[in-house]
Chains A and B, each alone.
Chain A
Amino acid sequence: MAVDMELEAVLRPPEYPQASYPPKVITLANGKHMTVREVTRDDVPTLLKAVHPTLFIDKDYYNVVGARIYAELLAWQYYRVQNEFCLVGQIDGIMVGMVNSRMYTAETGMSLHTLAIDRGLRVGAHLFAAKMEHHIEYLGQDEVLIVAESPIGFRRWMIEYGLIPTTIPHELGGAPSFRLTRDLYFATKSRLVVGDRPVPDDLMALAEKEIIVANEAMIREKIAGLKGR
Chain B
Amino acid sequence: MSEIKITGYKCTECGRVHYPQHEQCLSCKGRDFEPLAPEGDATLLAYTQIFNLPWGFDERFLIIGVGMFENGIKAMGQIKADSLDGIATGMKLKPSWEPVRVQYGEPVLGLKYEPV
Binding site for A on B (CB under 8 A): 58-60
Nearest CB to that of A158 among chain B residues?
A: B58
**Shortest Cβ distance from B55 into chain A, in angstroms?**
10
User: In whole angstroms, how far apart are the Cα atoms of A103 and B58 in the complex?
Assistant: 30
Residues of B within 8 A of A162 (CB): 60
Q: Can you report 5 A-B residue pairs in the complex whose CB atoms are below 8 A from each other?
A: A159-B58, A159-B59, A159-B60, A160-B60, A162-B60
Residues of A within 8 A of B58 (CB): 159
B-facing mask of A154-176, CB < 8 A → 1, else 0? 00000110100000000000000
Main secondary structure of the interface of A (DSSP, over half): helix
User: In whole angstroms, how far apart are the Cα atoms of A203 and B54 in the complex?
Assistant: 41
Residues of B within 8 A of A160 (CB): 60
Binding site for B on A (CB under 8 A): 159-160, 162
**Shortest Cβ distance from A184 into chain B, in angstroms?**
12
User: In whole angstroms, how far apart are the Cα atoms of A160 and B52 in the complex?
Assistant: 10
**Shortest Cβ distance from B58 into chain A, in angstroms?**
7
User: In whole angstroms, how far apart are the Cα atoms of A222 and B59 in the complex?
Assistant: 31
**Shortest Cβ distance from B56 into chain A, in angstroms?**
13
Residues of B within 8 A of A159 (CB): 58-60
User: In whole angstroms, how far apart are the Cα atoms of A160 and B51 in the complex?
Assistant: 9
Residues of A within 8 A of B60 (CB): 159-160, 162
User: In whole angstroms, how far apart are the Cα atoms of A162 and B58 in the complex?
Assistant: 10
User: In whole angstroms, how far apart are the Cα atoms of A160 and B58 in the complex?
Assistant: 10
Nearest CB to that of A160 among chain B residues?
A: B60
Nearest CB to that of A156 among chain B residues?
A: B52
Nearest CB to that of A155 among chain B residues?
A: B58
User: In whole angstroms, how far apart are the Cα atoms of A159 and B59 in the complex?
Assistant: 7
**Shortest Cβ distance from B34 into chain A, in angstroms?**
44
**Shortest Cβ distance from A137 into chain B, in angstroms?**
23
Please provide the 5 A-B residue pairs with the shortest distance between their CB atoms, ordered closest to farther.
A159-B60, A160-B60, A162-B60, A159-B58, A159-B59
